[in-house]
Chains A and B, each alone.
Chain A
Amino acid sequence: MYNFKYQRASSLDDASKAAAAAEDAEYMAGGMTLIPTMKQRLAQPSDLIDLGGIASLSGIRRDGDALAIGAMTRHAEVASSEEVKSAIPALAALAAHIGDPQVRNRGTLGGSIANADPAADYPAALVGLNATVKTDRREIAADEFFTGLFETALEEHEIITEVRFPIPEKAAYVKFPNPASRYAVVGVMVCQAKDGVRVAVTGAGPSVFRVDAMEKALATKLSPQAVEGIKVPEDGLNTDIHASAEYRAHLVTVMAKRAVAAAIG
């Protein structure tokens, strides 16, 4: 790892100023992706601005018909929160299967979605549950937030503060994990809410996406059989050392079917 300047911000304002002043700053949340990337020298920021000291960014609260989760909230906190487990058990279960215990105790919600790894679990939760991302500047709907491979709608030095998850009627997330990283080779969040059914897929493509045909079929009847015959086109899906696009397309159907079964279970 190269030498870099480490700063620990005490407030959002402090963090923004430090970022603006630096030559090439990176914010660090849990550091679960950033630190390994720096070790491999794929990222070489001049300044690392640690958001871990900003207390207001962390915490879980009920906010009317939604859950508001602070950006610096650790996966382990989401997984073990009674509030989350009772309001959106699928979200708690999703967080409980991110990475390994070490990752879950360091990694954060905000860090995960800002990184927008195509195989991360949280993007499926945000899009599947129709969440809203709050930043130090604005609010962004989940559907608009994830824009591509490791790309989001965030602007330069914009900081995520909170994610607001509407509480659904039924939801479940099922993934086929990579055996080493536990990242989703394919993960599917199925959610039934007042305004309809959502099916969000992570791992399969460059960015999280919804499956319109499945949503329509499930709106008619929320049953595993409804999605059994629906295959997403493999064009544009990821092919890597772990799985081909063709296999990922197959897994989308299998995971969707199992997610529906779990949601109605």
Chain B
Amino acid sequence: MSETIAGSRRGANVEFRQVGMALPRIDAPGKSHGKTRYAGDHVMPNMLHAKVLRSPLASARLRRIDVSKARELPGVACVLTREELSGRLAPTDIAGQTGRKRLATDQPILVNDRVRYQGEPMALVAAETVVIAERALELIEFDLEPLPGVYDPFDALKPGAPIVQGTDNVVAKYKVRKGDTEAGFAAADVIIENTYCTQFIEHAFLEPEVGLAWVDENEVINIRVSTQVIEHFRFIADAVGVPHNKVRILGSLVGGGFGGKEDVTVEIYLALLAKATNRPVRLCYTREDSFFGHGKRHPFTLTHRTGFTRQGKITAWKVDMTADAGGYVFLSPYVLLYATVAAPGPYRVDNLHVDARAVATNNMFTSAFRGFGAAQACIAHEQQMDEAAKTLGIDRLELRRRNFLRTGDLIATGVPIESAVWSDECMTRAWEALGERTPDDGPIKIGRGVAAYQQSYGRITWLHDTSEAWVGIEMDGTVVVRSGVTDIGAGQVSALAQIAAELLGVHLTDVAVYNSDSSTTPLAGTTTATRALYMTGNAVRLAAEAVRERLLRRAAQEFEVAHGKVDMADNRVFVADHPERSMALKDLVAVCASEGVHRSELVMFRAPFTGEIDPETGQGRVHPDYTYGAQAVEVAVDTGTGEVTVLKSVGAHDVGLAINPDAVAGQIEGGAAQGQGYALSEELRYEQGQLTSTSFSEYLIPTAMDVPEYKAIILESRSGVGPFGAKGIGEPALTPVAPAIANAVADAIGVRIFDLPITPEKVVNALQRLGN
């Protein structure tokens, strides 16, 4: 259920015909009829099946690995270990970035000497059947010598701690020094200090990692794979030792990503095995493989110290945060940067001091997850605001209102926010949408909470992000879009079609999109960082505008009117003031074709490029722009069992402009569910680096039985840097949910639980402490 609030649509000088409509997405029929072929649905003749042998220990030295028995097993085609790979590394950085090159922190493709986390890959097998491949894994003999490990980032910082990465386990550091925090605290009437903790989180996408690779007649390694990033082809080529133009990634529609398919998953294994065997190889992770096979969301410990005047104005804010990076670096530095930028949330803080570090341990490595550090930051700053409101005796919403950023204010990194900041409007509308308060009922106590946020969309500006798209119009007036963009289920591709349809005067069903092929579709970058619509949407807009411009110029000649007097819609071209003077679009196209008018355009859209922020002050531009919004929830807490039930949950976000409001509402509803699991039930538990929640029996994601009917409120300021003023919504939809629920639970029971998830047991313990 959703409603759209057209902020500036009414009275706007542009009238949209396709954009802004809740049209059925072009990927919907295939999915709903079961026709869509996901990466796992593809098979090839003579195909082998792969399996990965993983380390059972989290910190060890691989003394010996003997695969001779596995190789002798009939039906085994290939077994690879460190012997064959001679120390080859798998890059773990962001694909396509042209900013700073990082320290040598890449991971051996297969364990060479040291094991740094449980599940680190030690051998690859390709066999005629999955059963034979599994049997072969059991025949591999290995000796692992246990080494002292470190499983807590604070332990890892102590002198004498086992070193997992670098010289001191610190894989990244960021700081912000803005204004004068000492003076700010001196001017404060009240200082609030608290520590908030978050947990390891699993992406739990519906479709575990899967791919199929083959080497073709031109020696190109083709990999059809479920990924958010087809441009890993360069990393894969480097890892395997072939030129970049000899690896081709063919994406498929992805059954969920959430950042978990942002790093390379099965691609390098597939490339190595396909190359070694010269046969097609398929690797499909089981759910258990998937739990061990990709990086997790970082647990953070965040200590906040915030000064307020009695009137509720923030005078100073100091944040100290530590993230567990696990065994390898992967995207930890970037996640930490996002958390640093988002540390004070959507508030104006003139005196800000942030210290942040990501620390290596022998836990599972952590990397991208929807929200990317800003989610953890929000969990802390929004609970801190509620704690402050309680101490100050100021209404929680009012306290936020008194501190929200306004357009032109400087954010944490000292640059002004240029787009609209509709935090107040979003928060107020979300809160009002909760409606009448549900009454308490015996042991069932009702509580309400709200959370606001600031979440970037678009990549870090010194990574120099670009996106390409090609738009052309066919002889019959249908439209073709070609772009490498990957669709991970959020409607990325359909949004591009809707933009092209708008600009070329056709219907959504007249547009075909060819995407996600690293060799044949123009490279569009990643589907990560809430950037796909912003970047590729702009590329498609620019390309379609160029084609439109040429067609309309020619049409103006045809109608003998001035350029600018002609418009196009419903597959026709017409004089704007005299719509009866019109021609079919395909007739105009025929004229253009006969005269050699260029009916297509390839465009590269460039995000703003900047240098890095000042390392000492953290001041400078980091992102192209930010999305603002809020979540409001109502919960019921069973004070007997400690169980929390979410009764109402409303997300209100200023998305700039909703290209497809249904797709936006889908993001908001999905974020509400994922955030609910984050708040209440989900936790990957590692004991001495060993995962103890290894399946969905222990790792509890919300089910249909646990979720209320979510409500999505879409506000449109048309102030974003995306196409037609759009902002991003993919990550923002999740970010405020968990803290809103935490605040609602605290409201219900009168005591706060500072570490997520808020399990029934923690609620009971908190109530008992309160009772004592």
Contacts and interface: CB of A to CB of B under 8 A. Distances in A.
B718 to A, nearest CB: 42
B698 A251 contact: no
Given A180-B697, A254-B641, A241 B692 contact: yes
A251 B760 CA distance: 10
A180 B698 contact: yes
A179 interface: yes
A250 interface: yes
Given A180-B697, A250-B764, A258 B685 contact: no
Contacts of B643: 176
Nearest to B703: A179
B693 A241 contact: yes
Interface residues of A, number: 15
A176 B681 CA distance: 15
A181 B695 CA distance: 11
B761 A243 contact: yes
A241 B698 contact: yes
A241 B685 contact: yes
A80 interface: no
B761 A247 contact: yes
Contacts of B681: 179
Interface string B727-770: 00000000000000000000000000000000011001100000
Contacts of B237: none
Interface string A236-262: 000001111001001100100110000
A251 B641 contact: yes
Interface string A65-77: 0000000000000
Interface string A214-248: 00000000000000000000000000011110010
Contact of A179 (B642, B706, B764): B706
Interface in B625-659: 640-643
From A243, A247, A257, residue with most partner B Cβ within 10 Å: A247
A111 B629 CA distance: 52
B90 interface: no
B232 to A, nearest CB: 33
A179 B641 CA distance: 13
B142 interface: no
A137 to B, nearest CB: 35
Nearest to A248: B761
A179 B682 CA distance: 11
Contacts of B685: 241
A244 B641 CA distance: 13
A216 B681 CA distance: 37
B696 interface: yes
B475 interface: no
Contacts of A176: 641, 643, 760
B contact residues, range = 10 to 19
Contacts of B760: 176, 247
Contacts of A181: 697
Interface in B677-700: 681, 685, 692-693, 696-698, 700
Contacts of B697: 178, 180-181
Contacts of B703: 179
B503 to A, nearest CB: 48
B761 A179 contact: no
Nearest to B683: A241
B375 to A, nearest CB: 22
A111 B224 CA distance: 45
A251 B696 CA distance: 23
Interface string B42-57: 0000000000000000
A254 B763 CA distance: 14
B764 A247 contact: yes
Contacts of A251: 641
Contacts of A257: 640
A11 to B, nearest CB: 34
B640 A258 contact: yes
B132 to A, nearest CB: 13
Nearest to B642: A247
B762 to A, nearest CB: 9
Contacts of A254: 640-641
Contacts of A179: 681, 700, 703, 706
A257 B442 CA distance: 14
B696 A180 contact: yes
Nearest to B761: A247
Interface string A156-188: 000000000000000000001011110000000
A244 B759 CA distance: 12
A188 to B, nearest CB: 12
Contacts of B692: 241
A180 B685 CA distance: 16
B713 to A, nearest CB: 29
Interface string A7-40: 0000000000000000000000000000000000
Nearest to A257: B640
Nearest to B695: A180
Given A251-B641, A254-B641, A244 B696 contact: no
Interface string B527-571: 000000000000000000000000000000000000000000000
A134 B729 CA distance: 62
A180 B700 contact: yes
A13 to B, nearest CB: 35
Contacts of A241: 685, 692-693, 698
A241 B700 CA distance: 11
A75 B761 CA distance: 30
From B643, B703, B761, residue with most partner A Cβ within 10 Å: B761
Nearest to B681: A179
A258 B642 CA distance: 14
B749 to A, nearest CB: 15
Contacts of B693: 241
B610 to A, nearest CB: 46
A178 B760 CA distance: 11
A260 to B, nearest CB: 13
Contacts of A247: 642, 760-761, 764-765
Interface in B712-727: none
A101 B681 CA distance: 23
A97 to B, nearest CB: 12
A50 B641 CA distance: 40
A176 B703 CA distance: 17
A244 B760 CA distance: 11
Nearest to A176: B641
11 contacts: A176-B641, A176-B643, A179-B681, A180-B696, A180-B698, A241-B692, A241-B693, A241-B698, A243-B761, A247-B761, A247-B765
Given A179-B700, A241-B685, A254-B640, 14 more contacts: A176-B643, A178-B697, A179-B681, A179-B703, A179-B706, A180-B696, A180-B697, A241-B692, A241-B693, A243-B761, A247-B642, A247-B764, A251-B641, A258-B640
8 closest A-B pairs by beta carbon, nearest first, are A254-B640, A247-B761, A180-B697, A179-B700, A241-B698, A176-B641, A180-B700, A241-B692
